[in-house]
Structure 1
Amino acid sequence: MIVGGGLRRATRRGVRLLRADDPETGWLVRIVLSALLLWAWLYLTPPGAEVRPVLAAALACWVVFLLTDSRWPRLARGALALVTLSAATVAGVPDDASALIFVYAGLFTFVLLPRMPMAAILALTGAVIAVLTIVLWFSGRGPTAMLTQPVLIAVLVLFSLHRREYRLRAEQTALLLEQTSRTQQAQARAAALDERTRIARELHDVLAHSLGALGVQLAVAEAQLGEQGDVVGATERIRRARRLANDGLAEARAAVAALRTDVPPLPRALGDLVAGFRTDHAATITLRTEGTPRDLPSGAEVSLLRTVREALTNAARHAPGAPVSVALDYRGPRTRLIVENPAPDPAGTRPGPGGHGLTGARERIALVGGTLEAGVVDGAWRVTAEVPS
């Protein structure tokens, strides 16, 4: 059982190595080529003294190439070039195929080596063709052999170059896909961090404003009860504190909802917001969109939504029952949002700074590069917000 388990582990390891190996220049191909060269030298080489020593030297250069390829690539390339050239010098011997096997194996491996300069490939190919042509001419092999062998060498090199180019493109494509994937992951992380920062800012604004105002109202109510005995005034402060608590709870729920769902397109989100206010406050609110809607940064859309919510809340508080109009304008270079309702004091003509809620809205709009103005214009209270598109 121990022997069987060890055999299975060795088999699995061999399969993993085989799958990870390069199918053209890996260790398996080199083992096969080494066996082929050794077989050619032992059984195909004619007994002539001028061939066997040269091919033996070529075989030794092949061994040097195998041993030095990973650590000394320049030495390995030189040894492989010597394999090809030395075999080409004896390729003209009649009835001898072993030298050509050395030439083809060495040249094929040389061309397919990773990061092999094109100049070195062309130089070795030209040298092999020249040496092979001279050797065949001196051997009297005739014009057919002198033409056929260089053509075969050229075809082998062209095929190998084609495979090399295909492999390089495949590697570049894989590298590009990996870089693209890393870039997308980095962008996704940056977007997630930006969204978390925005949500954290929204929650901070809601809690800081609501709890701070709530604390002030309760402190005043406590002073009115304890020091002045003003039950009526304290009751009014408590009612105001309860309204602040309800408003803060609604704002907090809206901010938390943004963590769970994506922000819908701005026109649809405004429609949902206006519909909710119509139902909750029994108010007449009109909404119109002008121009072609376009996508805005999420921070800008959320800031505009918060501005509309604050403006509608103020309208319901200071001018209950009065009609309100909301206009979203995409026609200019900047997206503009206008909320307008009849002013409680139509005589005022100078825009006022607004309350704490509008101050927070103005700060949020400024964070996304926009502006917000609020005040009385032509007898109506108007809130105008603009953000870059």
Structure 2
Amino acid sequence: MERVQDRRERRIRRLLSLLWVIFVTIGVQSLSARPAPGVQGVHLAVTLLLAGCLLPIAAVASGRWQVTAPLPCVVYCLLVGEFGLALGVLQPHAMSVLPASVGVLTSFLVLRRVPAMVLSGVLVGELLGTNLAGMDGSATNLVSQIQFCAVLAVMAVFIRQAGSNEARAELLLAQLEDARETETEAAALAERTRIAQDLHDVLAQTLSGLAIQVQAARRMARRNRADEELRGVLDRTAKLVKDGLGDARRAVSALRGDRPPSLDRLAELVERYRTDLELDVSMTVIGTRRPVPGDAGVALYRGAQEALTNAARYARGARTVVTLRYEPESMTLTVEDRRDSGAPAPAPVSGGSGLGLTGMRERVALAGGKASAGPTGHGWTVRMEIPA
């Protein structure tokens, strides 16, 4: 579409240059004709008619008057044509056909076909009338003047049609390019999905099985009281398998185009726990929201997810409040379970493995923050703070 716009602007510049040529031609012809422009009597009338004809042409040629809309176009064509024909009556040997031809050309360039034919018919009819009345030169020029206007009208129609054809062709090319880009993106997405499926079905499943086997080996080592060196090797192996499994899952998510979790989706997470797990949870945001680094956002999101999971497991019936606070130099996220005074005490965290809270602390620490979790007088609170 940009190429069409450039060509259209070039055509407009050429047409405006043509207007300046007509402007100069009409002025020179009028100055050399008799009676010449002046300030008295008929000479003053010639001056006023010449100004009425040339000023609209100059305004359009300089870009000060836009005649691309129908009403300005009609006004412009009538001003130039009528003043030009009146000037031709006072100066019979001047080129009165030029103003009328300007109106014909402009009308067919801007207006629809029928209005342009009506307006051009009015201008040519008046030109014909002045010739037949013998007020503007001889009748011998009549045929050539009408032919000149007809040629300009046909030229304007072809110019306008060429512009429309170029616009349609450019639109079709743009649609074709969009279709090709969409097809390429679809093929790339299909390939990425296939690779993600292979990673999930082969690598991730293998690592999951390996993790189970390593955990079993660690339990056997503890039960058989194996030496510390062997247990240390198994612990490091378990950590490597866990890290590899996490990397594989992240790679699968990236290949599938999944959005990484962030604080922008925290409200969605809270709503999902409220709806799907029927957890009595609410969320409050304190302070002005601002962009958060990716690692910090992921750490806070995963921490909130772990805390809400624990609340759904161990704090059924409690009211859970998620509070995100934007401090001047840090961000704090708390997830608090609040029970009524007569409610039973919270289930101890030792009822679970504790690995979730440990992973939360490690993730927050990697983002440069700190996390804590523990009982309160009326429930349980998880607090995470990250500089951001």
TM-score, scaled to structure 1: 0.45
TM-score, scaled to structure 2: 0.45
Which structure has more RCO (C-alpha within 8 Å, separation ≥ 6)? 2
